[in-house]
Amino acid sequence: MNHLKLRLGRRAPKTAIILGSSLGPVAAAVGDPLIIPYTDLPDFPVPRVSGHAGRIVVGRLGGAEVAVLQGRAHPYESGNAAVMRPAIEMLKGAGIETLILTNAAGSLKPAIRAGSLMLITDHINYSGMNPLIGQHGDENFVSLTDAYDPALRKRFIAAARAEDIALEQGVYVWFSGPSFETPAEIRMFQMIGAAAVGMSTVPETIIARRLGLKVAGLSVITNLAAGIEGANPSHEETKSEGAKAVGHMKRLLARYFAGT
């Protein structure tokens, strides 16, 4: 039984958005909202980190019906890389075809400052974990070429241009957390071609691609990573700087769903 599908009733969103740290207020842009707490959905992972409200807001955004998830459970909370699998499977079973993942991330490039939005073009899994470990069947050998759908990326670029929003592009590296990276690790990530680093998104992308969903990813840059210009990241900085980007994220998503 798909409990989310039952709660949706006649609503039929095809796209779901997972909001990262401090981006929960983006859901305020959703019209005619139906609100479903994660705790109302059996087996749905409930976040335990501040800045993640733990509810689904279903309604209209930019003319399209969407399901907006206010927060995620992170692998570092449990040691389980597949912690979001029940949520993504439930979304798939409820008719979701596209998953838009957002996160708060540290910049590896001094030119990409706090407050910037970055479109994820690819990722590097530095965590040592994979959410498909322990699963059986040939279907788990998932190709991650174009994991972040090129057509969706083009739509976001067009939407940003239409809204006159600067949209960076780059590779996101997944670091397991919850401790922040060392300056030495940041220097290594710079050497291997990453533009931003964070503690989420990659396992969700892998799970979503395993289930046949299209994926797009957006990072809100909340800080320069450790050691860059003397940066010393904190979770408070992540939350405060992420909140400042809510307006741009609302506009970008609304324009994207309006078809630019």
- The active-site residue, picked from 27, 29, 65, 76, is 76
- The active-site residue, picked from 16, 22, 52, 245, is 52
- The active-site residue, picked from 74, 103, 194, 208, is 74
- The active-site residue, picked from 223, 226, 231, 248, is 223
Residue 248 falls in the annotated catalytic set: no
Q: Which residues, including other chains, have CB under 8 Å from residue 181's CB and lie 6 or more apart? A: 106, 175, 189, 197, 225, 226
Residue 136 falls in the annotated catalytic set: no
Residue 179 falls in the annotated catalytic set: no
Query: Rounded CA gap, 201 and 172, in Å?
Result: 9
For residue 142, the number of C-alpha atoms closer than 13 Å in the C-beta half-sphere is 20
- The active-site residue, picked from 81, 159, 196, 199, is 199
Closest by CA to 16, choosing from 84, 112, 111, 79, is 84
Residue 21 falls in the annotated catalytic set: yes
Structure tokens at 144: 């991650």
Residue 74 falls in the annotated catalytic set: yes
Residue 118 falls in the annotated catalytic set: no
- The active-site residue, picked from 200, 208, 254, 256, is 200
Structure tokens at 242: 């992420």
- The active-site residue, picked from 16, 21, 27, 249, is 21
- The active-site residue, picked from 2, 3, 64, 77, is 77
DSSP H or E segment with residue 86 = helix 85-93
- The active-site residue, picked from 73, 94, 104, 243, is 104
For the beta carbon of residue 93, count every other beta carbon within 10 angstroms. Answer: 14
Q: What positions carry a catalytic annotation? A: 21, 52, 74, 76-77, 104, 199-200, 223, 235
